[in-house]
Structure 1
Amino acid sequence: MKAGKLAALGAALLIGAAPAWAEAPSAAPGAARIADTATDEARLMALFRDDARREDALDPLALIYRGTAPDPAALRRLFTDSQLRAQRGSVIQSLALLRRIDRRRLGAERQISYDVFLAAKREEAEWLRPDSIALTAVRPFNHFGGLHIEFPSLMAKDGAVKYEDSADYRTNLALIRAFPTVLDNAVARFRQGLASGVVESRLTTANMIAQIDALLAQSPEQSPFYSPVREFSAGIAASEQPALRAAYGAAIRDEVLPAYRRLRAFLNDEYLPAAREQVGIAAMKGGPGLYRRYAGRQTTLPVEPEVIHQLGLAEVARIQTGMDQVKRELGYGGTLKSFFDVIRTDPRYHPKTREELARGFAEAARQVDALVPQYFSRLPKTRLAIEPYPAYREKFEAGGSYNQGAPDGSRPGVFFYNTFDLPSRFLTGITTLYLHEGAPGHHFQISLAQEDASLPDFQRFGGNNAYVEGWALYAETLGYPMGFYKDPLQHWGTLDDEMLRAMRLVVDTGLHAKGWSREQAIDYMLANSGMGKSDATAEVERYIAWPGQALSYKIGALTIQRLRKKAETALGPRFDIRAFHDQVLGSGALPLPILEAKIDRWIAARKAG
């Protein structure tokens, strides 16, 4: 299917009604107060604030990511029925209040906010239906981004929370002490899945056990949870340090590590023997329909797995044509498939040391910083740091990722790169990986949204993968006009990364809709790209753990590229790349149909002006 038809599939995204159970009576709690506000726009913003207040109380992890410590009691409610009931009640209330507001009387930006909010609440309502919960809540996490491995990073000294004074230390200690309850709640959810026959794969379960083993192999003093008291912040008096050190050590030794041991014993002794052998979600009870819903959520479009599979095959063939040309520029006359083996094995394409990777990313950052003002009129205030993954995480991570900074700029965004198994890392991918994860990719998009206080919180901090990952992949293509890909080594790298996103369309649908095995998926990626086996394995195991997410990159990027082409054609000499980027980035992460409607209005206004 051509890229131009993909976004058109989303035209009906906002047409369907919310499920019947979510249609609350108009007299929802708080409705009268908001209904009495003077204007529709004021009532809408009051609704957004009210919803954000309720959502913050129900999503302690979001608060932690934003650098705010939540109530430990809210953390303890994760993975419980009481939390689900509260989430349902909040969605019902917000939909009822939204029906009282006349969209036609709103300004253009607030109409976008209305549309995004409505789409988000309808999606939440769908995923909170009992039939959805029965397939999702009983699988609380797996090895990719699971809370068992993510929470230690969040609470570490260099994580998301602040350790500036003794109050911070004691507040964060209370969160650490609440975390064992969260792990026990997760075990209870996994048990429900065992009873209903809705279980994770043996692969993801074995990987979780390995991750827990890596954490348990550390002494309490080596734990990420202990890092705040290994080296205290300057604001902590020497007289306070012994008591804090003892309290953190006791919490880790007596509460946190025993909870990890309980989780590990359950997963290994009870869950693993019952986990499903097949890795694809279609092999799970209720899986085929669930995969279609995952694909729709991740792309914000009503897509069909077979259509996406065929699009992926076409993109793979197109990119291979470009690869064949760059291969010749690199002085190789053999077949493309044989060059993939050369790329994997020739030492000149791989870093010899971790320091070599660090220098490469630092140089890419310097070059990008010099050029971005030509393409962007607004730059983030939040600083971008470049760091390797911590050793306990790197084996299970992709080649790179981004952690958002604090909205006030007090904590930088972090581009993490992977130094595990250096012979499988590539010097060719340095530029494109930095453009994607760092600037102007995730760091620009996420930071600019967070820093814009005029946006409602759900636009500042929320989003969807099709937009977020689509933007980051689109950002890679800016390396062409910036001149980075005149170097055939880096040109090969960006084609190889684009190939990865095209292969994702094939492999994700292959795994979850066509019954592919893990080995079949890895073999496909190795046969059609120059990526190393470690990367291919990590990628495939990520797709297994996160069905549908891998579809978002290419679908989102193709949509943004198509919208830019539409604007360039319609506006001719009036087209301004910086103004176009302002429009794409200026309202937070939008569902693709809403983004397209916004760009269409901008094109019409520029033509009229």
Structure 2
Amino acid sequence: MKLTPKFLLSVALAALAVPIAAPATAQDTIKAEAAQLTEGEKLAKVFADDDEASLKRNPLNALFRGDMRYADRLGDFMTDAYFDAERKAANDNIAALGNIDRAKLSPTDKIAYDVFMRNQKDAIKGLSSPYFELSVVRPINHFFGFHTFYPNFASGQGAAPFKTRVDYENNLKRHKEFVVMLDRAIGRFREGMASGVVETKMTVSNVIDQLDTQLKQSAEESPYFGPTKNFPADFTDAEKAAFTRQYRDAIEKDIYPAYTRLRDFLKNDYLPVAREGHGLKYMKGGDQLYSYLIESTVTLPMRADEIHNIGLSEVARIKGEMEKVRTEVNFKGTLPEFFDHLRHDPKFKMASREALTQGYYDIGKTVDAVIGTQFKYLPKAPLEIRPYEEFREKYEAGGSYQQGTPDGSRPGIFYFNAYDLPSRTTPGMTTLYLHEGAPGHHFQISIAQENEKLPAFMRFGGNTAYVEGWALYAETLGYEMGLYTDPYQRFGTLSDEMLRAMRLVVDTGIHSKGWSREQAIDYMLANSDMGRTDATAEVERYIAIPSQALAYKIGALTISRLKEKAKTELGGKFDVREFHNEVLNTGALPLTVLEKKIDDWIASKK
């Protein structure tokens, strides 16, 4: 029953001479209820309210969690209304935190408070001038965009479920929003053409190639047709025929025409005015944007020159370790000749996609047998191993991870790349699995999202420095688990460590020092055993998503430093399984917050 002022007044008059207080307002009621909550309960309410509102604005986030309430939509991404809502939410959240006494929170809640506050401030900064105007007009490139994410998502092999009739209907509804989104991207690109903020000719050419590749497929060959090839058993023949017709029509009459509009616009209108220089240094406002992206990505107050020099130092150190392996296997040539040997010797190649797949299956079983020596708690979600689909493998990295659901009903997936198989070598397989699979991304993401005691933004959110830093750190656990006794496997992990060190040099080289694409590729080939195909894909990735590649090494160096600090200060009390639990059990923390947490844990153990 709602107590209106009119109702309260009538009750007061019935009391005749009894003195009455002023009528309560809705705001008074809210304040009274809030006063009865503890500071921790107030904080939890802020988190819960924000999460619920965020899921409505970002329905895909809900679907990836297995929450199907908004599964019939993609969201109004790229619109002014969407960005306005995100800004308002962040400002409202900061105001709500201001009403909470942080000093009265528990240690874990203080961590959550600090992370949430940092996230809101960073969101506001990214959605403000000049960074917003420099980013929103470049909505997609070959490494980032709905045009490559959505085909897998809607294929029947991705995160979108196809178990019920409603699932199939929701997918058709999402298709309509996807078409609108592609046209919306054209509008944002046109804004950039007017303001002089444009993508590179290289990234745009790659997007055109991606769209052409999909358009060459018939409707039946398209990943969008995939759900019609594996209907649930309870569908009638009439329903199967109806959905098959609707899915073919959506591809031929809606999606492919939208692809064509985007492809033709990029080819005929945008490509001629796209920029020649590959780095942000060559884009209007690019230097300022890159400085912001660095600090946002690594979650530390670092600058491009500092990171570049750390990278040069790490490249030199790792080269020294590689020389030791070269000597151990009695290779008589130089290190660059050893790189060439590893690139081309047939004994370091897999004969087929099937053999490569089986190789990763075998590595997974080996890791499963020893993982308990490093971890107290294992994820509930299983881990699947798959090659990339052929329609997207050319422009993907060597491997990646797609998270499962918190309840384990959808597994996590480790994807590996089998494109241009002769260019891929076997020594890096173990370390790639440790990074993308277990105990890398699969452990970090699954353990966090399975911890229902954490607020949703800590269970499901994160930052690249922690997430990728953990995955790179996880590669080094191969030493402690006895997985690198073979010198070539050990060289494989050094190669991957070298890749992350080179990224510090190359990413900053491209975006702050003006390196060309070719200069960056040559640097990577000279300092590693990478094939040209992989080196090219890596460099084009750095061009497409500036600063992201810096996070791996900076994050891993931070976690390793904290581990050595704990070992030194705790001595015999140090338990690596407890340390890993402390790093993982509160989700992906900014590195400054993680360091404070581990310092407090060390103090408590003393």
Normalising by the smaller structure, the TM-score range is over 0.9
Q: Larger radius of gyration, structure 1 or 2?
A: 2
Which deviates further from its counterpart, 112-121 or 333-342?
333-342
Aligned pairs, number:
581
Distance change in 2, residues 1:30/1:74 (3 Å): farther
For residues 487-541 of structure 1, give each alpha carbon's deviation from its aligned partner in whole angstroms, at most 9, with x where no partner exists.
0110110000000000000000000000000000000000000010000000000
Structure 2 residue runs without a partner (length 5+): 1-25
Instruction: Say if 2:286 is the partner of 1:290.
Output: no
For residues 207-236 of structure 1, give each alpha carbon's deviation from its aligned partner in whole angstroms, at most 9, with x where no partner exists.
000001111111112211111112212343
Query: Any idea what SS the aligned residue of 1:198 has?
Result: coil
Instruction: Say if 2:234 is the partner of 1:228.
Output: no
For residues 370-406 of structure 1, give each alpha carbon's deviation from its aligned partner in whole angstroms, at most 9, with x where no partner exists.
1111110000010100000000011101111111111
Percent of pairs with identical residues: 51
Deviation (angstroms), 1:89 = 1.2
Alignment of 1:88-487 (within 5 A): 88-487=87-486
Q: Which residue of 2 aligns with 1:543?
A: 542
8 Å Cα contact 2:72/2:171 also seen in 1: no
8 Å Cα contact 1:312/1:503 also seen in 2: yes
Which deviates further from its counterpart, 118-127 or 55-64?
55-64
Query: Any idea what SS the aligned residue of 2:391 has?
Result: helix
Question: In the alignment, residue 141 of structure 1 is paired with which amino acid?
Answer: I
Distance change in 2, residues 1:34/1:519 (3 Å): farther
Distance change in 2, residues 1:446/1:588 (3 Å): same
8 Å Cα contact 2:401/2:415 also seen in 1: yes
Question: In the alignment, residue 304 of structure 2 is paired with which amino acid?
Answer: P
8 Å Cα contact 2:73/2:173 also seen in 1: no
Question: In the alignment, residue 75 of structure 1 is paired with which amino acid?
Answer: L
Question: In the alignment, residue 420 of structure 1 is paired with which amino acid?
Answer: Y
Q: Which residue of 2 aligns with 1:85?
A: 84
Distance change in 2, residues 1:28/1:302 (3 Å): farther
Distance change in 2, residues 1:57/1:415 (3 Å): same
Q: Which residue of 2 aligns with 1:566?
A: 565
Deviation (angstroms), 1:329 = 1.9
Deviation (angstroms), 1:330 = 2.1
Distance change in 2, residues 1:206/1:67 (3 Å): farther
Q: What is the rounded CA distance, in whole Å, between the counterparts of 1:417 and 1:59 in structure 2?
A: 28
Deviation (angstroms), 1:28 = 11
8 Å Cα contact 2:507/2:542 also seen in 1: yes
Deviation (angstroms), 1:71 = 4.2
Q: What is the rounded CA distance, in whole Å, between the counterparts of 2:471 and 2:390 in structure 1?
A: 26
Q: What is the rounded CA distance, in whole Å, between the counterparts of 2:459 and 2:28 in structure 1?
A: 26
Distance change in 2, residues 1:553/1:458 (3 Å): same
Which deviates further from its counterpart, 218-227 or 369-378?
218-227
Q: What is the rounded CA distance, in whole Å, between the counterparts of 1:81 and 1:145 in structure 2?
A: 20
Q: What is the rounded CA distance, in whole Å, between the counterparts of 2:357 and 2:71 in structure 1?
A: 38
Distance change in 2, residues 1:216/1:36 (3 Å): farther
Q: Which residue of 2 aligns with 1:591?
A: 590
Which deviates further from its counterpart, 388-397 or 72-81?
72-81
Question: In the alignment, residue 338 of structure 1 is paired with which amino acid?
Answer: E
Which deviates further from its counterpart, 484-493 or 71-80?
71-80
Q: What is the rounded CA distance, in whole Å, between the counterparts of 1:148 and 1:193 in structure 2?
A: 19
TM-score (norm 2): 0.94
Deviation (angstroms), 1:412 = 0.7
Distance change in 2, residues 1:462/1:561 (3 Å): same
Deviation (angstroms), 1:69 = 4.5
Distance change in 2, residues 1:34/1:603 (3 Å): farther
For residues 296-336 of structure 1, give each alpha carbon's deviation from its aligned partner in whole angstroms, at most 9, with x where no partner exists.
11100111101111110000000000101101222202110
Q: What is the rounded CA distance, in whole Å, between the counterparts of 2:258 and 2:69 in structure 1?
A: 21
Q: What is the rounded CA distance, in whole Å, between the counterparts of 1:294 and 1:123 in structure 2?
A: 10
Q: What is the rounded CA distance, in whole Å, between the counterparts of 1:283 and 1:483 in structure 2?
A: 47
Q: What is the rounded CA distance, in whole Å, between the counterparts of 1:515 and 1:31 in structure 2?
A: 56
Query: Any idea what SS the aligned residue of 2:413 has?
Result: strand
TM-score (norm 1): 0.93
Alignment of 1:46-65 (within 5 A): 46-65=45-64
Question: In the alignment, residue 527 of structure 1 is paired with which amino acid?
Answer: A
Q: What is the rounded CA distance, in whole Å, between the counterparts of 1:533 and 1:143 in structure 2?
A: 18
Q: What is the rounded CA distance, in whole Å, between the counterparts of 2:389 and 2:102 in structure 1?
A: 48
Query: Any idea what SS the aligned residue of 1:392 has?
Result: coil
Q: Which residue of 1 aligns with 2:14?
A: none
Question: In the alignment, residue 46 of structure 2 is paired with which amino acid?
Answer: L
Query: Any idea what SS the aligned residue of 2:414 has?
Result: strand
Which deviates further from its counterpart, 379-388 or 337-346?
337-346
Query: Any idea what SS the aligned residue of 2:415 has?
Result: strand
8 Å Cα contact 1:281/1:288 also seen in 2: yes
Query: Any idea what SS the aligned residue of 1:276 has?
Result: coil
Q: Which residue of 2 aligns with 1:9?
A: none
8 Å Cα contact 1:295/1:548 also seen in 2: yes
Deviation (angstroms), 1:76 = 5.0
8 Å Cα contact 2:440/2:474 also seen in 1: yes
Deviation (angstroms), 1:32 = 4.9
For residues 460-501 of structure 1, give each alpha carbon's deviation from its aligned partner in whole angstroms, at most 9, with x where no partner exists.
110001000000000000011111111011011000000000
Q: What is the rounded CA distance, in whole Å, between the counterparts of 1:164 and 1:533 in structure 2?
A: 42
8 Å Cα contact 1:220/1:253 also seen in 2: yes
For residues 229-281 of structure 1, give each alpha carbon's deviation from its aligned partner in whole angstroms, at most 9, with x where no partner exists.
12212343333211111111111111111111111111111111110000101
Q: What is the rounded CA distance, in whole Å, between the counterparts of 1:601 and 1:361 in structure 2?
A: 39
8 Å Cα contact 2:144/2:544 also seen in 1: no
8 Å Cα contact 1:294/1:548 also seen in 2: yes
Deviation (angstroms), 1:64 = 3.3
8 Å Cα contact 2:63/2:160 also seen in 1: yes
Distance change in 2, residues 1:34/1:482 (3 Å): farther
Which deviates further from its counterpart, 534-543 or 238-247?
238-247
Distance change in 2, residues 1:211/1:531 (3 Å): same
Q: What is the rounded CA distance, in whole Å, between the counterparts of 1:293 and 1:124 in structure 2?
A: 12
Q: What is the rounded CA distance, in whole Å, between the counterparts of 1:88 and 1:255 in structure 2?
A: 32
For residues 402-424 of structure 1, give each alpha carbon's deviation from its aligned partner in whole angstroms, at most 9, with x where no partner exists.
11111221111110011111111
Q: Which residue of 2 aligns with 1:488?
A: 487
Q: What is the rounded CA distance, in whole Å, between the counterparts of 1:425 and 1:335 in structure 2?
A: 21
Distance change in 2, residues 1:94/1:33 (3 Å): farther
Q: What is the rounded CA distance, in whole Å, between the counterparts of 1:298 and 1:331 in structure 2?
A: 41
Distance change in 2, residues 1:368/1:334 (3 Å): same
8 Å Cα contact 1:300/1:466 also seen in 2: yes
Query: Any idea what SS the aligned residue of 1:385 has?
Result: strand
Distance change in 2, residues 1:390/1:400 (3 Å): same
Distance change in 2, residues 1:124/1:37 (3 Å): farther
Structure 1 residue runs without a partner (length 5+): 1-26
Q: What is the rounded CA distance, in whole Å, between the counterparts of 2:416 and 2:73 in structure 1?
A: 33
Q: What is the rounded CA distance, in whole Å, between the counterparts of 1:204 and 1:556 in structure 2?
A: 27
Q: What is the rounded CA distance, in whole Å, between the counterparts of 2:149 and 2:74 in structure 1?
A: 14
Distance change in 2, residues 1:67/1:186 (3 Å): farther
Question: In the alignment, residue 524 of structure 1 is paired with which amino acid?
Answer: Y
Query: Any idea what SS the aligned residue of 2:567 has?
Result: helix
Q: What is the rounded CA distance, in whole Å, between the counterparts of 1:361 and 1:440 in structure 2?
A: 14
8 Å Cα contact 1:59/1:74 also seen in 2: no
